[in-house]
Structure 1
Amino acid sequence: MTQALIFDVFGTCVDWRSSVARAVAQALPGVDALAFADAWRGEYQPAMERIRAGGRGYVALDDLHLENLHRVAERFGVTAPDTLNAAWERLDPWPDVVPGLTALRQRHILAPCSNGSIVLMTRLARHARLPWDCILGAEIARDYKPKPEVYLASCAALRLHPSAVMMVAAHNDDLVAARAVGLRTAFVTRATEHGPGQTTDLTPADDWDIVAPDFIALAQRLT
């Protein structure tokens, strides 16, 4: 029986692309805001991979985002204020997320299992009104998804066997890693996370325990 659901956040729960682009347009007028947001996000995995591979000790995502911001700003030929980094704390939720989480919370413990830091997830939750019961994820594991330690640390913090925890994500690779260490899995499609031309994660890549079009449908499947 599933007792807790843990969630990928960037892309699955919130629309990072439009939200970051909005902040970029305000801070850096004249820059192609969507291109800048995509480039900033493009530095996300390479920055974490250096840590996952052991080439660098754990660094919180807030700090990686700031390093990446200045790297991308230089590429675009502009100087970005450090305050722009707070854009990642003000991402808007997809329309189904808050009502879906509210329904799910009636029967399940809910928490993010994100690569974001505890403070980033906390501030984001306050902005987006995400009704988490607690904040889990990369910082308690001192590593980054899809390393198995991140999923297992979240289960351990809840004192639940992985089989009693379901990972919810719009990214197939996240679910592959979660299933490999015994968690249940739910795929929720976010076909425009990367914009109208998205080509990845449009369909489930495996027979996940649940496949749903949104969080409201997910809640209905779990009642």
Structure 2
Amino acid sequence: MTKPEVLFFDVLGTVVDWRGSIAAEVSSFLARNNAAHIDAGALADAWVGRYDSSVEPIRRGLQSFATLDVVNLSNLEGTLEEFGLKISELPHAELVHLNQAWHRLKPWPDSVKGISNMKERFVVAPLSDGHTRLLVNMAKHGGLPWDTVIGADISRTYKPMPQAYLRACEVLGVKPHNAMLIAAHDYDLRAARECGFKTALVVRENARDPSKTGEPASNEDWDFSVGNLIELANILLAA
């Protein structure tokens, strides 16, 4: 197998612990707003559970592009109402602060070291549904050592549309067959492979996407399958 030049990383679930981070922020939000009786984990999953259907019109070209901040805030308001909280009675600043939690997601323990090690030999960059400013803020918050940041606002679509992967290659001047996607989600890897990418699955037990409830467990033959990013770095650097 030809060695890749550029390693692209899915971020939400693969590089950062979105579920643990968002549940913690939701818990604090609920406590501040006299709603500690609500299950923070369930609310976090319900919030993300609205994501896929809300961006499908953008993927299909039926709706103009909107950033993750805009999509998430709309979904947050609907989710809070679903859980019995009235948006009109909540301070707007509280909603904005909770929505900005996506800029503050915490990396998995192996992420910074693993990416740093891979950066010694490869170009490393996120390939995420997050927009550029969100990914920059997240990198600064968590110390993620990207060479560059390419947000979904560059391709102006959402994965798994082919343009999301191919536009990232165009920006970095790399052919798809010389790129690799590293992700914890089969649907993402499948789409990247169809675009010509090499693929590496990182098994993350707490990375399931609640908006894709029908996604089967991984059983495909990816180029690599590892338990963490340090393990993958060791394999790629030894090759």
Aligned to 2:107: 93
8 Å contact 1:189–1:201 — kept in the other structure? no
Aligned to 2:231: 217
User: Where does structure 1 differ by over 6 angstroms across 4 or more consecutive aligned residues?
Assistant: 199-202
Residues 68 and 12 (structure 1), Cα distance of their counterparts in 2 relative to 1, 3 Å cut: same
**Residues in 2 aligned to 1:98 and 1:140: alpha-carbon distance in whole angstroms:** 24
The alpha carbon displacement at 1:105 in A equals 0.5
Residues 58 and 87 (structure 1), Cα distance of their counterparts in 2 relative to 1, 3 Å cut: same
Mapped pair 1:49 → 2:85: no
Aligned to 2:44: 37
Amino acid at match of 2:61: G
Aligned to 1:185: 199
Mapped pair 1:67 → 2:74: yes
Mapped pair 1:122 → 2:136: yes
Secondary structure, aligned partner of 2:4:
coil
Aligned to 2:98: 84
**Residues in 1 aligned to 2:137 and 2:214: alpha-carbon distance in whole angstroms:** 28
**Residues in 2 aligned to 1:201 and 1:51: alpha-carbon distance in whole angstroms:** 21
8 Å contact 2:135–2:151 — kept in the other structure? no
Aligned to 2:27: 25
Mapped pair 1:102 → 2:104: no
**Residues in 1 aligned to 2:22 and 2:81: alpha-carbon distance in whole angstroms:** 18
**Equivalence map 1:172-211=2 (5 Å):** 172-194=186-208, 204-211=218-225
Secondary structure, aligned partner of 1:101:
helix
- Larger deviation, residues 76-85 vs 48-57: 76-85
Aligned to 2:162: 148
Residues 73 and 146 (structure 1), Cα distance of their counterparts in 2 relative to 1, 3 Å cut: same
Amino acid at match of 1:149: Q
Structure in which a larger fraction of residues adopt strand: 1
1:98-144 Cα deviation digits (max 9, x unpaired): 11011000001011000000001011111111100111142111100
8 Å contact 1:170–1:201 — kept in the other structure? no
Amino acid at match of 2:5: Q
Q: TM-score, normalised by structure 1?
A: 0.94
**Residues in 1 aligned to 2:123 and 2:192: alpha-carbon distance in whole angstroms:** 17
The alpha carbon displacement at 1:205 in A equals 2.7
**Residues in 2 aligned to 1:200 and 1:15: alpha-carbon distance in whole angstroms:** 21
Q: TM-score, normalised by structure 2?
A: 0.88
Amino acid at match of 1:105: K
**Residues in 2 aligned to 1:53 and 1:157: alpha-carbon distance in whole angstroms:** 22
**Residues in 2 aligned to 1:91 and 1:201: alpha-carbon distance in whole angstroms:** 24
- Give the root-mean-square deviation of aligned CA atoms: 1.7
Amino acid at match of 2:78: R
Equivalent pairs: percent with the same residue? 43
Mapped pair 1:14 → 2:9: no
8 Å contact 1:13–1:97 — kept in the other structure? yes
Aligned to 1:171: 185
Amino acid at match of 2:81: E
The alpha carbon displacement at 1:203 in A equals 5.8
Secondary structure, aligned partner of 1:84:
helix
Q: For 2:126, which of 89, 93, 112 is the aligned residue?
A: 112
Q: Which has the higher contact order (CA 8 A, sep 6+)?
A: 2
8 Å contact 2:184–2:207 — kept in the other structure? no
Amino acid at match of 2:101: A
* Structure number with larger C-alpha Rg: 2
Aligned to 1:4: 6
- Larger deviation, residues 62-71 vs 72-81: 72-81
Secondary structure, aligned partner of 1:187:
strand
8 Å contact 1:137–1:151 — kept in the other structure? no
